[in-house]
Chains A and B, each alone.
Chain A
Amino acid sequence: MSVNITMKVNGKSVTAAVEASTTLVEFIREHLRLTGTHVGCNTSQCGACTVHVNGRAVKSCNMLVAQAQGADVMTIEGLAAANGDMHPMQAAFKEHHGLQCGFCTPGMVMSACELKGKVTNPSDQEIRACLDGNICRCTGYQNIVTSVKAGLAAMS
C-alpha cells in the first residue's frame, strides 16, 4: 500500500508516495538521497540515524515516514549555515576531534543539538547520561563529551 507523504526536510517542502512500511531513514537516504544520516544497527540501539522531528531527537530507523506526516524534519545536512559555515556543535566536534571512525557522528551531533535549552552547564556525567541513545563503537567517548560541552557553550 502506498501512502502520500508531505513534510518539510531541512526547511524544504517534500511530497512523495511511498510504501506504508517505509521507515523515515529509508525515506531520507533512499528517496531524498540525504546520506548524512547513517544506519548503524537498524534495530533502534545505536542512534546513528538520529534526526530531529519537530525539534525532537528521534531514531529515524524506528519510525515510519508516515509518522512524520506534516512534520518539520532536520537532518545533519540541515545544520550548517547556507554559506557553509559549520553549526557550533559541528565546529566543536571538529575542534575537539569528537570522533574516530565518524560513523556515529551525525547521530551524536543531532542528539547533542537537542540538548540546547534542556540542560544548563552539564557535567561530563550528565552529558553521558543525555547521550544514552547513542553508541560509539570506537568507544571514543572522552572527546565526544568534551565536544558536546564546548558545542553547547557555543550555542548558548
Chain B
Amino acid sequence: MNAFELHQPKDLASAATLAGGGGDLRFLAGGQSILASMKLGLASPDAMIDLSLIPDMKAITVAGGVVKIGAMAKHADVAANADVKKAIPALADLAGGIGDRQVRNMGTIGGSLANSDPAACYPAAALGLGAMIHTNKRNIAADSFFLGLYETALDAGEIITAVSFPVPEKAAYVKFKNSASRFALVGVFVSKGAQGVRVAVTGAASCAFRATALETALANSWTAAACNAVKMSADNLNGDLHASAEYRAHLIPVIAGRAAAAAK
C-alpha cells in the first residue's frame, strides 16, 4: 500500500482537529475493509487517523430499553456480550456472523456503519431496529444515514461515537451468504417494537434499505407466508456474477419470511 501519515490521537477532540486538516484523510477503526482496499489501490489516503487509542469508545451498555454500543466495540465483543444477547439476541447473532472469527476480533460497529458496504450486516440492524447513530457533532437516525454505495450522511471529518438500538419485542436477522466472501448476497433484519414493524435489507442494492411492502405484510400477519406473498421488483437491485437482480428480488421475501419465523 502507498505511504501515508499516521495519527494516533488519545482523545476525540484531537481526532476531530486532525480531521480538519484537509487532504484525503481516512479514519482507521478496525481496518478490516480499509486496509484491504488500500492494498488494492482502491483507497490511497494521505493520512490516517487511528481511533483505537481514544478511551470510552468501546463501552456496551443496556439500560432503559436501549442497547448502546460504542463505535469501537468489536463484533466479537457484541456477539459475546451477555446483556446484548439477552436484550436483542438478533443483534448479537448478527455480530457473531459477520465475516469470520479473526475479522470479528478486529472489525468495529462504527467502522462498518461508516463504510456502508452494500453487503455489510450492521446497516441492516441499524435500519431494522430504527437505531440512532451518535457522532461527535449530532445524532443521526439510521433512516437518514445510508445514502448510497459506500455513502453516508456523515460529513467529512465527522466521527461516529456510539449507536443506540431500541430493544424490540422480537427481531431476527437471516443472511443468505455469498459462500466465498461470506458477505450477504441478501440479508434481512426484521423487528417488531415501539417503532412498529421494520424490515431492512442488505446485500441487494447500493446500500441497505427498508422494504416497506414487507413491513406492511408482516404488520398484517407476522408469518413467512405473508412475506412470500410479497413480490419485490428487481429494479435498482444489484446483479453480479453471484446472483442476478431477479434472483435477489426473489430471495428478499423468502429470507424475510425465514427471519419472521425465527424472530424472538
Residues of A within 8 A of B (CB): 1, 3, 19-21, 23, 42-44, 47, 50, 56-59, 62-64, 66-67, 69, 111, 114, 130-133
Contacts and interface: CB of A to CB of B under 8 A. Distances in A.
B31 A130 contact: no
B3 A67 contact: no
A56 B105 contact: yes
Nearest to B52: A67
B213 interface: no
A1 B32 contact: no
Interface residues of B, number: 28
Interface string B64-105: 000000000000100000000000000000000001111101
B261 interface: no
B1 interface: yes
B106 A20 contact: no
B35 interface: yes
B31 A62 contact: yes
A20 B102 contact: no
A6 B159 CA distance: 27
Given A20-B4, A20-B5, A66-B50, A42 B39 contact: yes
Nearest to B36: A44
Nearest to B38: A21
Nearest to A20: B6
8 contacts: A20-B5, A21-B4, A42-B39, A44-B36, A47-B102, A62-B35, A62-B36, A133-B101
